[in-house]
Amino acid sequence: MAKSNAVTKVEAFAVTDEIPEFLKKGSHRGAENVGSEDVIIPRIELIQALSPARKKSDPSYIEGADEGMMFNNVTRELYGLEVMVVPVYYQKQFLVWKDRKMGGGTNGFRGAFNSRADAEAAIAALNEEGLEISDTAQHFVLALHGDKWSEAVVSMAKSKIKVSKRWNSLMRLTDTDSFSRAYKLSSAVETNARNEQYHNFNVSPIGFVSKEVYDRAEKLYEVISKGGVKVNADYDEAAETVEEF
């Protein structure tokens, strides 16, 4: 009898990735007061040689993580070496960092601003040595992982800026909404002026999306264009540093 009770308890608290039949799809009771401004969109990041995701002693460690892989910096899911994305919205921001050599390290991020003037004002207010501004392209996307689309941001700074410009050019060539077409986001090895290798993004067009995906992207576009979302601010500064020329 004791064994039977133990099994019953396990089954009663069992969890599953599949939605049980008794649950109502589309019901969000308990989250009625959660608005788009209360939700943070994760970023797709590239794992570099110095990334915390590769260090077993680091809280950010991800099992199976390797150089060149992409991952969701909120769910910590690995995407592998490529992922399909649909670009929804583009925004340029100015990120403030504390130089790694002056104590910045993994805690060097000081904020993201929508203009260089705002970033400069923030630096003046912080009154710290070694702060610098990094022009950063923020590409809001829908990313396909398995059979599920999810919202994400691809941040491109420093050497990634050239990839961002090429991506923007490819989108304009379609002469349609940016979210009318899907792209393959993959990783490529490059070498900087110090002869150090690092992984950069690469973007190539795939084709036009279905109406279902287009409609979902359009809804996300409307929310983002009204300033209704926030980007996750946990930037991997150790990974960014290696790209400096």
**Beta carbons of 187 and 203 less than 8 angstroms apart:** no
Q: Provide the domain limits for residue 102.
A: 52-241
pLDDT higher than 90, residue 186:
yes
Q: For the chain, what is the domain count?
A: 1
**Beta carbons of 59 and 234 less than 8 angstroms apart:** no
Radius of gyration for the chain, computed over Cα atoms and rounded to the nearest angstrom: 21
Confidence of residue 231 (pLDDT cuts 50, 70, 90): confident
Output the pLDDT for position 244: 47
- H-helix or E-strand containing 238? helix 237-241
Please report whether residue 168 resides in a domain.
Answer: yes
- In this structure, what token pair is assigned to residue 200? 């950069």
232: left (phi > 0), else alpha (psi -120 to 50), else beta?
beta
Q: Which of 5, 42, 78 is nearest to 233 (CA)?
A: 42
Q: Which of 115, 143, 113, 144 is nearest to 43 (CA)?
A: 143
pLDDT higher than 90, residue 129:
no
Please report whether residue 9 resides in a domain.
Answer: no
Whether the pTM exceeds 0.85: the reply is no
3-state secondary structure of 158: helix
Output the pLDDT for position 15: 54
Mean pLDDT of 128-134: 85
- In this structure, what token pair is assigned to residue 12? 């009663």
Could you read off the pLDDT of 54-89 as tens digits, one per residue?
Answer: 988 888 889 999 999 999 988 899 999 999 999 999
Mean pLDDT of 189-202: 89
Could you read off the pLDDT of 164-178 as tens digits, one per residue?
Answer: 999 999 999 888 999
> Which residues, other chains included, contact 40 with Cβ-Cβ below 8 Å and sequence gap of 6+?
74, 229, 230, 231, 232
Output the pLDDT for position 154: 95
Cα–chain center distance at 108: 18
> Which residues, other chains included, contact 79 with Cβ-Cβ below 8 Å and sequence gap of 6+?
44, 69, 70, 71, 72, 143, 145
Count CA atoms within 13 Å of residue 45 on its CB side: 30
Cα end-to-end span (Å), the chain: 69
**Beta carbons of 79 and 69 less than 8 angstroms apart:** yes
Residue that has been written with the tokens 């940016």 in this structure: 178
Please report whether residue 31 resides in a domain.
Answer: no
Please report whether residue 89 resides in a domain.
Answer: yes
Residue that has been written with the tokens 């926030």 in this structure: 230
Please report whether residue 23 resides in a domain.
Answer: no
DSSP state of 230: E
Confidence of residue 191 (pLDDT cuts 50, 70, 90): confident
In angstroms, the CA 56 to CA 66 distance is 12
pLDDT higher than 80, residue 150:
yes
Output the pLDDT for position 4: 46
Please report whether residue 19 resides in a domain.
Answer: no
- Amino acid type, 126: L
Please report whether residue 40 resides in a domain.
Answer: no
In angstroms, the CA 129 to CA 57 distance is 29
